[in-house]
């Protein structure tokens, strides 16, 4: 069935970077892409980008391009999302979510539990 387990909450100062991990289990890691989304307090879902677990190809939302990097480690079935130059409005719960199929045009069928990132001086 599959599971995604994310790293724990982070408290960062403005201008710092954060790196969140998402470890996959229970399915063949390379078969499905992973997306990163975020949800600010009391707000809706915002898509940040996608990474192929097969070859590492990425596609980032224009809003985050230049500030976000997504990577994979096939040896540990883990995906990482690094966000740099953090601002207070980056405070949010960050989710990883699996694409249900082998290419991006599928819904998200498995979600991580979320990682709270707080940016505060």
Partner 1 sequence: EVVMTQSPATLSVSPGERATLACRASQSVSSNLAWYQQKPGQAPRLLIYGASTRATGIPARFSGSGSGTEFTLTISSLQSEDFAVYYCQQYNNWPPYTFGQGTKLEIK
Residues near partner 1 (CB under 8 A): 35, 44-47, 50, 59, 61-62, 95, 97, 100, 104-109, 111-114
Query: 14 or 26: whose CB is closer to partner 1?
Result: 26
Query: 18 or 37: whose CB is closer to partner 1?
Result: 37
39 and 95 Cβ atoms separated by less than 8 Å: yes
- Number of helices (H), then strands (E), belonging to the chain: the values are 0, 11
Q: Which two tokens stand for residue 68?
A: 């976000």
> Closest distance between partner 1 and the C-beta of residue 28, in Å?
18
Query: Could you give the CA distance from residue 89 to residue 118 in angstroms, rounded to a whole number?
Result: 9
> Closest distance between partner 1 and the C-beta of residue 15, in Å?
26
Query: 10 or 61: whose CB is closer to partner 1?
Result: 61
> Closest distance between partner 1 and the C-beta of residue 5, in Å?
11
Q: Which two tokens stand for residue 114?
A: 């979320």
Give the position of tokens 């480690």: 73
Query: 62 or 121: whose CB is closer to partner 1?
Result: 62
> Closest distance between partner 1 and the C-beta of residue 39, in Å?
9
Neighbours of 102 (CB within 10 A): 14
User: What backbone torsions phi and psi does residue 30 show, to the nearest 5 degrees?
Assistant: -70, -10
């Amino acid at each position: 069935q599959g599971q995604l387990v994310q790293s724990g909450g982070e408290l960062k100062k403005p201008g710092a970077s954060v790196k969140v991990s998402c470890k996959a289990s229970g399915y063949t890691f390379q078969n499905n892409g992973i997306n990163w989304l975020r949800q600010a307090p009391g707000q809706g879902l915002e898509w940040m980008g996608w990474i192929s677990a097969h070859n590492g190809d990425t596609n980032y939302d224009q809003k985050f391009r230049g500030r976000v990097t997504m990577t994979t480690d096939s040896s540990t079935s883990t995906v990482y999302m690094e966000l740099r130059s953090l601002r207070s409005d980056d405070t949010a719960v960050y989710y990883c979510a699996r694409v249900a199929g082998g290419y991006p045009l599928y819904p998200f069928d498995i979600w991580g539990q979320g990682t709270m990132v707080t940016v505060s001086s």
